[in-house]
Structure 1
Amino acid sequence: MTELKTLQKLNPMLDLRDINDPVFLRYAKVLNYDDFLSYADYLDQKTHMPEMNNQYIADDVRLHQEEHNEELLKHVFGNTPLQFGYVNGYNSSLNALEWHPSPEINIALTPLVLMLGHVDDVKDLTYEVKNIQAFYIPAHSVVMFYPTTLHFSPCKVSDAGFKCGVILPYGTNMAFTSKEEKMEKNDPLLFKTNKWLIAHHENKTVIELGAHAGLIGENLKIIYKG
């Protein structure tokens, strides 16, 4: 039985699909992993797993020294200055959904699951979890989210956790939005620079940091072993 089949069997309440499924194209597209080999080698050899939870580095200056497919990145991001980061960890729950008015590239060194949504389904500062679409991302895969795609942390599919590179326009996620700015802009979902976020009420950490609790339904969790 493949890992995807096992995950589907263990998570019957979740619509979990392969990234080659046509439905994936509503949320993202698959890029060529060979264009990100230096990035992947860096993740493998020079980044570490945290003791628990996740470690998110928005921009690792050492990654700027690695070889990148500049033409591809210019095409994806339209000549925008970029940050090269990563998230390593052990998350297995939905917890929140975020989006940016720009693409995002994820480089999956390890297999993982992404729970995705569409910004069109955000209504009155809320999102119904029943609309979540989950995808199994094989190791050594690269995906590009569209600006309309809701996403958050990858979910692990083994005790070893996951390693995932993250490329975004420079400045994304680097500074929190103050309560005063949210009120001034009448935008309670603006959480950080270039980042809008809706949290699940169980995610006390981001709520205490000012996130709006607007995910309606279960805080979905990926089960990977019986």
Structure 2
Amino acid sequence: MSDFTRLKELNPHVPFFHIEDQKFKGYGKIIENYDFKDLHPFMEQTVIPAEGNVYVASVPVMENTKLKEAIQSAFYGGMPIEIGYCNGPNSTLNGLEYHKSSEINIAITDLVLLLGRVQDINQNRYDSKNVEAFFIPKGTAIEIYATTLHFGPCKVNPDGFKAVVILPTGTNDPLEEEVVKRTEEDELLFMKNKWLLVHPEREVLVNRGAYPGIIGENIQILYDSSSI
């Protein structure tokens, strides 16, 4: 039995697809024309924390590469970019964010992403029943479109996950000044180029000012029968 088949059977509570499924075309695409191997030596040295995800937006060692020049000049059309990573033991939805730009993720380990559509946000509320899960095998690079809701990956083994994250420079930095709220969407602006809704159960983010706009189940991805 493949890892994907096993995970799909363990998670009947959420629509579950392989990243190569046609379903993913509404959320993003697989990236095949870039060589990401220059990033792997650094990622092999990073650790997965025992509790809580760690996100580092910009890593000079990974940015001082020919890959960054190629991604910046072509994929992002000359826009400055940052290359960082997200590692962790997470297995639940917790929140959904979006950017006004595409994001690149590279799966350093197998992992699952829980995805939704910005178009399904209604009056700053999003029902988690609309979320779909995608299995991303180790070594796969993907583009996540600006209209795709996403958040930290979910682990598919007890050790946790590792992923490279590429975004326009400054994304996820703290806002430098308070935003004048003119629209409903402005309530969701949490950091630079980051609009965020969280599940009320994720109190650590709610207490930081994140908007508790996710209704329904805080979906958990199960990776073996003992995690049920």
Q: Is the 8 A contact 1:33 1:141 kept in 2?
A: no
Structure 2's unaligned 5+ residue stretches are none
Q: What is the CA deviation profile of residues 124-165 of structure 1, one whole-angstrom value per residue up to 9, with x for unaligned ones?
A: 001111111110000110000011110000000001111100
Using the size of structure 2 for normalisation, the TM-score is 0.93
Q: Is the 8 A contact 1:76 1:103 kept in 2?
A: no
Counterpart residue number, 1:171: 170
Larger displacement relative to structure 2 (79-88 or 35-44): 35-44
CA RMSD of aligned residues (A): 1.7
Counterpart residue number, 1:39: 39
Among candidates 161, 170, 183, match of residue 181 of structure 2: 183
Q: What is the CA deviation profile of residues 42-79 of structure 1, one whole-angstrom value per residue up to 9, with x for unaligned ones?
A: 212x3222232211001112211233163344332121
Find out whether 1:101 has 2:100 as its counterpart: yes
Question: In 2, distance between residues paired with 1:58 and 1:69?
Answer: 14
- Supply the AA of the counterpart residue of 2:25: L
- Supply the AA of the counterpart residue of 2:181: M
Structure 1's unaligned 5+ residue stretches are none
Decide whether aligned partners of structure 1 residues 74 and 67 sit closer, same or farther in structure 2, where only a CA change above 3 A counts: closer
- Supply the AA of the counterpart residue of 1:19: I
Counterpart residue number, 1:211: 210
Counterpart residue number, 2:49: 50
Decide whether aligned partners of structure 1 residues 177 and 117 sit closer, same or farther in structure 2, where only a CA change above 3 A counts: farther
Counterpart residue number, 1:28: 28
Q: CA deviation at 1:183?
A: 3.4
| Correspondence 1:117-196 to 2 at 5 A | 117-176=116-175, 180-181=178-179, 183=181, 187-196=186-195
Counterpart residue number, 1:65: 64
Question: In 2, distance between residues paired with 1:204 and 1:182?
Answer: 25
% identical aligned pairs: 41
Find out whether 1:7 has 2:7 as its counterpart: yes
Question: In 1, distance between residues paired with 2:29 and 2:202?
Answer: 29
Q: CA deviation at 1:32?
A: 2.0
User: What secondary structure does 2:218 align onto?
Assistant: coil
User: What secondary structure does 2:9 align onto?
Assistant: helix
Counterpart residue number, 1:113: 112
Decide whether aligned partners of structure 1 residues 177 and 198 sit closer, same or farther in structure 2, where only a CA change above 3 A counts: farther
Count the aligned residue pairs. 224
- Supply the AA of the counterpart residue of 2:111: L
Question: In 2, distance between residues paired with 1:189 and 1:26?
Answer: 23
Q: Is the 8 A contact 1:18 1:136 kept in 2?
A: yes
Q: CA deviation at 1:177?
A: 6.9
User: What secondary structure does 1:7 align onto?
Assistant: helix
Larger displacement relative to structure 2 (193-202 or 74-83): 74-83
Q: CA deviation at 1:181?
A: 1.8
User: What secondary structure does 1:188 align onto?
Assistant: helix
User: What secondary structure does 1:156 align onto?
Assistant: coil
Using the size of structure 1 for normalisation, the TM-score is 0.94
Q: Is the 8 A contact 2:4 2:135 kept in 1?
A: yes
Question: In 2, distance between residues paired with 1:89 and 1:28?
Answer: 23
Counterpart residue number, 2:74: 75
Q: CA deviation at 1:222?
A: 0.4
- Supply the AA of the counterpart residue of 1:22: Q
